[in-house]
Amino acid sequence: MRGRAAGFWLWQRFMTAAGARMGRGSAASGSRSSAIGYLRFNGEGPNGLIDRKAPGVAPKLNDAQRRALAEIVEQGPIPAIHRVVRWRLKDLVQWIWEEFRTSLDETTVGRELKAMGFAKMTARPRHHAQNEGAIEDFKKTSLPSWQRSTSASRTVSR
């Protein structure tokens, strides 16, 4: 059950159990089995539904694994061992799988690294046949100093 159907089902269960606890409702809605089922679903009773944060999904990496990931990123890869010269998210996903046997998505690893304070660094792309001397020839040069235009050309009629 998802979405509105689940919400309606929970509301109906809550109202049935609340009616049973207060001694109201018909025999069907106030049966002991529905109240017990509700209390089994939520051990805190009706007050447990108010202002409580949902626990969410448990993280796949624990604190020790996060520290190991931070260490490996700070040290950088060893080409002979890791078979890469710089860490990419794809490489870190593979390292996490080999080290901890935990499957993570590249987006998740990027989010974890960002939460630990790492920033994604990328080098400026360069063409493989780029000539350093030719770059200087194509740069624009500006006039050595700007001159103010004459006042005759700037008169505005009002």
Whole-number pLDDT of residue 57: 87
Residue 19 CB partners (closer than 8 Å, separation 6+): 25, 29, 30
Is residue 91 domain-resident?
yes
Q: Are residues 34 and 67 in the same domain?
A: no
Query: Which regions in the chain score pLDDT beneath 50?
Result: 26-28, 30, 35, 39
Measured distance CA(6)–CA(91) in Å, rounded: 40
How many Cβ atoms sit within 10 Å of the Cβ of residue 110? 16
Q: Are residues 45 and 71 in the same domain?
A: no
Which structural domain, as residue segments, surrounds residue 72? 63-115
The letter for the amino acid at 100 is F
Is residue 15 domain-resident?
yes
Q: Are residues 31 and 73 in the same domain?
A: no
Please tell me the total count of domains within the chain. 2
Whole-number pLDDT of residue 112: 94
Is residue 43 domain-resident?
yes
Q: Are residues 74 and 34 in the same domain?
A: no
Q: Are residues 74 and 107 in the same domain?
A: yes
Q: What is the pTM of this model?
A: 0.49
Whole-number pLDDT of residue 157: 60
Q: Are residues 68 and 110 in the same domain?
A: yes
Q: Are residues 69 and 45 in the same domain?
A: no
Tokens representing 13 are 């269960």
Is residue 58 domain-resident?
no
How many Cβ atoms sit within 10 Å of the Cβ of residue 18? 17
Report the number of secondary-structure helices (H) and strands (E) in the chain. Answer: 7, 0
Residue 130 CB partners (closer than 8 Å, separation 6+): none
Is residue 96 domain-resident?
yes
CA-to-CA separations, 108 to 60, 96, 101, 130, 155, in angstroms, rounded: 10, 12, 15, 36, 63
